[in-house]
Structure 1
Amino acid sequence: MFPISNIKVAIIAGYEATSQQICDQLTALWGAYITFIPMAAGRYEESMAQDVDLILVSSHIIFTRSSPAVINKRTEVQIIGRTLSKAGWEKIKNLPDGNYMVVNDERDSAVETISLIYELGLRNVNLLPCYPDVPELPKAAIAITPGERSYVPSHIEHVIDLGERVVDISTMVEMLTRFHLLNHETTLILNEYAKNIVSRSQGLQATMQGLIHTKNLFEETLNMVQDGVVTYDERGKITFLNKVAEEILALPFSRVANRDIRLVLREMRIDTSFLDKDLQNQLITIRSQNILVNNMKILSRGNVAEGVITFKIAKEVEELELKLRTQLRTNGHTARFHFSDIVTNSPLMKRLVSRAQRMAPNDLGVLILGENGTGKELFAHSLHNASLRANFPFVAVNCSALPESLLETELFGYEDGAFTGAKKGGKPGLFEQAHRGTIFLDEIGDISPHLQTRLLRVVQQKEIIKVGGTKVLPVDVRVIAATNRNLVTMMKEDKFREDLYYRLKVLQIEVPPLRERKEDIPYLVQHFLKKKKVLAELPEPIMAAITQYQWPGNIRELENTIEYLSIMNEGDLQIEDLPFSIGDSINQAASTSEKTAPLIETNDSSGQKLVPADYAELDVERLLLELILEAKIKGLHTGRKNLIKLARERGILLTESLIRKQVDLLREKGLVNVQIGRAGCQLTTRGYAYIKNQEQED
């Protein structure tokens, strides 16, 4: 049982006896919770000084009769709904058609009783009001009265006494809800009471159950919320605490129900100044915990402002934010490579990887230098995955791929309305998305001076300001930058900030080009072949040519070459199928003086060794003209394949790329005509004359 409450309710009726009757009914049910005070309408003015929480008026007529000046405007008023007991209803529900007088102590009460009987469903009878000093007695042989038998005319022999009208259940539900007393115990009392009365309409019982269900659902919902929730009424009395609020305050709701919110908080030595206004996310301390508190006013019935307080444990907010940021990893912000993915047999590269592994665990910035295609991004991914930030986002952005304005909004985000077309609500930048993780700024040497200044603030202060915003946001991000440009030269030319350069290169990695670690080429080729699942290995002549090539595009070019060979492979790969000039490869590798012509062994059964055409001491233009003429004499098409075959018969290695380049030169000189398709090219008159003149000179 709840303890006796200090809630006071005044009951006003036309007569003191009626008021006492209603008071007795309600006290029998709710006396443990509420104190009921009976008052007659005519005498209420004398009792205005009484401090009551609610006024119950027996009818609309009595309320109208009591001037608004008499009833305290600050006190809420509720009209009592009254009904019949089931025993009284059983006496009249099956009455036959006819006239019946309804007798009560006054006209208004008689009219109300008639309305009630009609409302309950007895509509086949004609009910006539009868009361003291009625101008004319109704013509009826039977009288119906709600416990007012003494007012029945003496000539009436048949009287149906319905018993006293009782308070309807809807009035009780509204009253209990108003004082937040609708709970499991009071619901049981209501259910038992409902068994003995007649509902005024078919829907009132359902309405009561609906109100109870809504209240229970409301409380259950608030108990599922992760924030602490406290509600209080317009007087500052606490009306609800959810379970989280009970845990934060270390107080059960039963101990603080209907107590003053300010008094309760002051007892806990909590500053109550936040209750004076609406506010959001103010930091306070409760029981040695940092708590974010929100306070807001909500207009309830009668435009009365009730209050809602929410508590959030600051540490849990930070953990939730961290969890949300971490989930970004599933949206592509994740590092894919590890140091174990770096394929190398080079002592130089092995030392570099070892150095990078020692750099990984700390939070210092890293600057990665190297030509395009050397694997700078592979090192950036590996550094992140070997760091203490591995479980958090890895955000990579190519600074040269976006114009300055777009790169700025991508990096720093923007506020709502920052520019035309800005997304409503703004957008977080990549630095925010990389919080607690790593951001990789590729091609850092291509950013503008303006962005260099903004980037310096992030690296130095670990904070950002969104585009169009003024709020400073702290970010915890490790910055890894990479470039193929010479930043030292750019600093001397005032194209790159010196302070930013030294902030970025606290740790530095310089990835060597592939030509400086050729021992890695066979391992890389084997890795890419395995990845493509096309060839087990390359023919030896092709492998030799690949090893001699200088690879200006580094590993990226090598991977593309293997991709090309995989597509072109028909089971008989030849040197000529390589997408680069072997002669160019050899000329790049050898010195410009006293070159020794290497022999390239074919991969057919002949074991023939060939000399590259552009390396051999011969006139390549004359060779091509002679081959075209030879093909013509033999009745062959003069396409590149046939020219390569004829050159091989002379021990000379020609590639398609070299033939294509030389044929273009011969056409410009007017020595050949190039035809579409397999026909290839034909000698012109000048071409024939050129060959003849060369033979005469020999």
Structure 2
Amino acid sequence: MDRPTLTLIAGSTQTKKILYDQLHQLAGDYIVVRAFAIDESLPHQLEDHVILYSSEATKTEAATISNISGKESIVGKRTIRHDYIDRLLTIPHGERVLMVNDDDPSTVDVIESLYQLGINHVTFLPFKRGQMFYDNIHVAVSPGETHLCPSYIPQIIDIGVRPFDMATIIKVMDYFQLDDSVSSKISERYIRSMIVLHRKILDAEKDALQTTEHYQNVVNTVDDGILAINKERELTLFNHRLEALFQMPAKDVIGRDLSYVVDTDLQDFIINGLEENKFVSMNGVDVVAFRQSIPEEHTTVVTFKSVNQAFEIEKTAQREQHKKGFAAKYDFEDILGEHPLLLERVRIAKKLAIAEHPVLINGETGVGKELFAHAIHRNSLRKNGPFIAINCSALTESLLESELFGYEEGTFTGAQRGGKKGLFELADNGTIFLDEIGDISPTVQAHLLRVLQEKEIRRIGGKKITPINVRVIAATNKKLEQKITEGTFRSDLFYRLNVLQLAIPPLRERLSDIHSLTNYFVTKSGTWMKVDQQVIEAFMAHHWPGNIRELKSMIDYALVVASGSTITLEDLPYHRLEPMNEKPATLPVSSIDAKDHYVILQIMKDRNDEGKTASRDLLSKESATLSHPLSPQQIRLRLNDLENKGYIVKGRGRAGTQITLEGEQYLAQLKLHNKSR
């Protein structure tokens, strides 16, 4: 027996294929289906028992193209494909969704079908062909017509071409008067597919309910109070801790406006606040409120943390910073020396510490610039925040940029999965120390200038702008003013950095500290060794281009090679003390005055070292024993000269006269001068 035929006419090839497959699967054993699509062009003449159209719009358009005749024409009704329905269930609750189809009636039809299926957690808006822009739309849904979706919408969901609904299938069966057993089989196949669809919806709803209950249980175990509001300011989350804090049950506040729970001041912080946290008191409990926006879900989350707990968290964060090395290690007490120049710099640095402006530290290599940076941070208002130091000259331009500003995943080959925070982000609410700032490239200079101006960073390869609150301390051994003249350093960056200045004196300008520094380094080494006086004198005469770092290095060398219990001249690396053996600069006094000064200062130092002072009479008597006798009158004149130069301090009566730190440095120069003659 020949099977009856049915002609299917659809608008597109894709729709034709889907509808043909549906009819063939349900009734292919009993009906022969011929399928045509308008976009493939129709035959000039079409004739059949039944013409089945995919939509009313298709019927209208087909009549203008082909001469179609049939005993019966059926305009099919369409429904939703169950195998794609779970895609819609992932859309956030309350989202406005654009529904896109090829004609307006079909678009409305899809929306109605979805609402009837229970997909009502979102609001569907119909797409209009002539409308170019849609405000506040982040998701578009389309039944196989995604090419019509506006390109600026970030998420597009294709739910596939819609199949015929059961009413259409029944119309076809009625026309061909298929017996009851055949109709039953076809209906059974269709209903089975509908059962799969509804099972998917029920499973999704069950999963959603379980997920909601799971997250509700999780937030209820948290010690912090947590609430969330949607874009309509309705409360969507209110955990157990918050119930106790506000003394309100969650069932009474969920779905209500935010104003039902909090006062106007706190409402303003949650809705409009620019700051990240706010101190509030709730029923006698002091708490800190932290707000966080989730733009993609149109949600604001507020966490309420007790003040005591916040303090404990801060302490924990500080311990973690120490573990990661993000903490200052030194304080002003760790800066060794008693020279007036150094003490004056320490005094200034303590004042700079309590300010919030950038600091530029100038000084030669090895003078202790980083030591001052650590101490400034530890005495600042940011002392509880991180302290991060980086040597800018030790890294290439690209590596320095990625370290300072971070990068997003996939920015370059070998980039860390998930991206990486830069040091500026890690130093938030703390201090970053940029050592050797004079060596950075023009590219990094421009990037750094923007960070200082805007107080925000954008990771390399990223688009997100992150505000930061970081104090910058920079250091250099270069003359930045000269580099500006040469065109290798930006003047605008210099003036941004050079708000507060600090110049660290070189060791050669504070030679009187050498003795105490030498003893400190020897003692710190854990060895019990003495230092010969000739070694100290040699140190006092050295130029020290490497400053304190060079001094420590020299002592470390001597401690290793020394064979006895005393470090002597023979234990020093002579090739590094060559400046000692060079002819010294001409003294600013005559050779006669220099000899007189040497005798007086040497006697005075010997007496001072014994805890005694030196009177003019004693100086006159002692000078005779040194084969360079000086009369009391000569002594008086020389003492006046030495006092004017700041080398001695004359006391009244029995107080006697004492040598100053500058006098000891001058004495070391005189000794070197005598040896070179």
If the length of structure 2 is used for normalisation, what is the TM-score?
Answer: 0.47
Which one has a bigger Cα radius of gyration?
1
If the length of structure 1 is used for normalisation, what is the TM-score?
Answer: 0.46
